[in-house]
Structure 1
Amino acid sequence: MALNATMVAAQVNYPTKDPSLVPGVVISYAILGVLIVLTNSSILLIMLLRKQSLVPQNYLMISLFIDDILFACLYIFPRFLNPFWIRDIQYCAILPALGQMIIVNTNLHLCWISVEKYIAIGYPRWHKLHVRRAFTLPAIILTWFISLLFVCYPYFDFRDLGPISCFLGGPRDKEFRFELVLYSFLFFIPLIAMSITYTRIFIVAKRLSSKSFQKHRYSGLAENGRCEDLSINQVYTKQRVKHHYKTAKVLGAMVSVFFIGWFPFVSISIVLRSMDYQVIPQNLYTVVGIIRYIAFSTLIINPILYGYFIAEVRQTIARATKCTHRSTGALQAPRIEPLTVAFRNAINVKNA
């Protein structure tokens, strides 16, 4: 079976030896995968152990961190640390689909999170009454279902699990159309939607932070869509709005990092899919490898941003560090007061 795959690959001038499996590249991806697992697992563990973080609006973030961990475990480690993956025809054919699924999944998570934060700031009463539970869990289920459905579709239509599928996928024209539709609807359009949503979030948040808010009344969006004065008792407090605004800024930074890292990689992947493999220069694969590594590195930055700028997570880390410091200090020998201090204390007690 491996011999047949090699013959097919040789006929189409496609490399039978994976160029990414050189020692330096393997070590770099091993470090990258470990860092992705450590950073995302740490933030995930903090959120799961802290009861205040286990609220419906944080379920999307928890699912996002799980998605990043799966990306390292199911794609990076098998793909770049296992030299035999390219010889396993079935696994070789499925592995790229796993990568596509998790890329799309991450993007959809960020899109749903931006929508949830916009509702929290623009329509606080409706968010408090309806969105917390009625939105997050269905959004998570729908995200994973859509991602899995799209990447599995080619195997039911034009792509098989044979040796040709391992190296070339299905027919080139069908593969190109599929990737164009996949990334257009589940990558580019959600990115545009997130840009519009976060722009709107910052506009609404600035309005809520205006002078009218300091007078205990502010101009907010009513449920019927018209602008009218609402009592502060009818909406979240000023601190709550500030909390959502700060969270939105962090999430906006995460989206920006995701865009900078993944947009070039996805774009060049679509271009390569439209080209004939026989005319693609090998130097271009080197460029793709560098862009791909940058894209994967964004999965480390996201949990760091979330853990540093979100107050609840940062305070939990600070408490854990402080408790560790106190427990370490408790094991130390008691400090002996200087003789002058002890003598002064004795005189004070005598005078009293």
Structure 2
Amino acid sequence: MVNFAEGMANNSTETSNHEENVSEILTDAIIWAVIGVVTVITNFSIFVCTVTSNINQNLFFTVLNSSFLIGILFGGFYILPQWAAEYFTSEIPGLCFLLPSLGSLLLLCYNLHQCFISIDRYYAVKWPICYRKKIHKSCYIYFITAIWLFSLLFVSIPFMTYRIVEVENCTNLSDEAAENVFLFITFIATNILPVIIIIFCYANIYHKFYRQRSKTFALTTSANQQSKRSVDNKTIKASIQMGFLVIIFMVLMLPSTFIFTFGSLGLMSSLPGIVAYHLHIVSRYVSFLYPAVNPLLYCYFVDSIRSAVKSKILTKLCFHNENSVSVYQERNNSGTVLVNYTSNS
């Protein structure tokens, strides 16, 4: 009787654990599906608005549109199949190795684009005359092409050197030590290096704005108070924008960076395993939100993009109103139609 009771208890525990695992897997898939869909929608919407609108397509938009295109691919061809539909794609031969490599390629390429945008803004503020004279669209195309080729070559290194895979069984036969070293280098290239470059560039831009404001105030007489206020407002606005971009990037990217770094150095060994695991999962959710949020930041801070989005929305609303026409009929008591009225709803 005791053995029967113990067996029932064990079966009940196993059933409970199985239900918890299924619930956790389902919740994880839903979260990743939301992140992937939002990433595709935000990047695709802003990309279409900037490409189809009659805004000034300066050099800055060349690299910006390329990053939006990467965001579309990242959400649609990596996050959704790799994380949201992992239960199905993990059993498909080839995808188990292709999707992680594709994700590394797109993430590295995306963050290198953010670095390039930061360096471009820094160069434009630091040396504006030289920037306008020497930087042409062909330079941007060369740099963007180089970023794509470098990212592709970087993620291809394991397959050309040490990685041995069995596609049919999704088995990795490569050296574990070499794999860990490459993953660590990949993490540095996709997370730590962009953080350093972006913080450096925007901090210098921020410093440049305030130093320029101080010089302008020193040269401006007290009689020209309106000019002072104009310069001050522009400087404060630009500084706030730069500050928001840096803060949001740090809030979304640094938690994953710190947790991975501390874990690699053994500084999280004192934490319970379940706590460390959930910290890693949550930080990965947050960091993968950045490609979804980034287009919205540019839509808010860049006046031309914001105007293009507003124009598209108003155009759609006007088109909808023009096509939604209601017909009203006035009838007499016998049911005969006397008058037809048409009006836009």
Give the TM-score of the pair, scaled to structure 2. Answer: 0.71
1:94 shift after superposition: 2.3
Alignment pair present for 1:24 and 2:24? no
* 2:252 corresponds to: 261
Inter-CA distance 296–316: structure 2 relative to 1 (3 Å threshold): same
Contact persistence 1:175–1:273 (CA under 8 A): no
In 2, the alpha carbon distance for the partners of 1:50 and 1:281 equals: 51
Task: Give 5+ residue unaligned stretches, structure 2.
Answer: 1-20, 221-229, 267-271, 327-345
Match of residue 59, structure 1, among 59, 62, 73: 62
1:286 shift after superposition: 3.7
Counterpart residue identity of residue 102, structure 2: L
Contact persistence 1:79–1:95 (CA under 8 A): yes
Q: Deviations over 1:196-222 (max 9, x none)?
A: 211111122223334537969xxxxxx
Alignment pair present for 1:313 and 2:310? no
Alignment pair present for 1:143 and 2:147? yes
Inter-CA distance 146–328: structure 2 relative to 1 (3 Å threshold): closer
Counterpart residue identity of residue 137, structure 1: I
Counterpart residue identity of residue 306, structure 1: Y
Inter-CA distance 90–19: structure 2 relative to 1 (3 Å threshold): farther
Inter-CA distance 198–60: structure 2 relative to 1 (3 Å threshold): same
* 1:205 corresponds to: 209
Contact persistence 2:49–2:305 (CA under 8 A): yes
Q: Deviations over 1:120-168 (max 9, x none)?
A: 1121111111124253222211211111111110111111222699466
1:260 shift after superposition: 2.8
Q: CA RMSD in A?
A: 3.7
In 2, the alpha carbon distance for the partners of 1:257 and 1:297 equals: 11
Inter-CA distance 168–53: structure 2 relative to 1 (3 Å threshold): farther
* 1:91 corresponds to: 95
Counterpart residue identity of residue 176, structure 2: R
Matches within 5 A, 1:303-342: 303-326=295-318
1:178 shift after superposition: 1.4
Inter-CA distance 250–70: structure 2 relative to 1 (3 Å threshold): farther
* 1:104 corresponds to: 108
Contact persistence 1:117–1:248 (CA under 8 A): no
Inter-CA distance 136–161: structure 2 relative to 1 (3 Å threshold): same
Alignment pair present for 1:290 and 2:294? no
Identity value in percent: 24
1:34 shift after superposition: 1.2
Inter-CA distance 200–299: structure 2 relative to 1 (3 Å threshold): same
1:323 shift after superposition: 4.0
Inter-CA distance 20–84: structure 2 relative to 1 (3 Å threshold): farther
* 2:133 corresponds to: 129
Match of residue 70, structure 1, among 62, 70, 73: 73
* 1:349 corresponds to: none
Contact persistence 1:265–1:291 (CA under 8 A): yes
In 2, the alpha carbon distance for the partners of 1:289 and 1:19 equals: 16
In 2, the alpha carbon distance for the partners of 1:74 and 1:326 equals: 34
In 2, the alpha carbon distance for the partners of 1:136 and 1:292 equals: 31
Inter-CA distance 169–305: structure 2 relative to 1 (3 Å threshold): farther
Contact persistence 1:176–1:273 (CA under 8 A): no
1:53 shift after superposition: 4.0
Q: Deviations over 1:214-271 (max 9, x none)?
A: 969xxxxxxxxxxxxxxxxxxxxxx99x989967864663454333323333454567
* 1:157 corresponds to: 161
In 2, the alpha carbon distance for the partners of 1:245 and 1:105 equals: 32
1:41 shift after superposition: 0.8
1:32 shift after superposition: 1.7
What secondary structure, in the 3-state scheme, does the structure 2 residue paired with 1:52 have? coil
Inter-CA distance 172–262: structure 2 relative to 1 (3 Å threshold): farther
In 2, the alpha carbon distance for the partners of 1:291 and 1:20 equals: 20
Q: Deviations over 1:147-198 (max 9, x none)?
A: 1111110111111222699466732211121123333345423321222211
Alignment pair present for 1:182 and 2:174? no
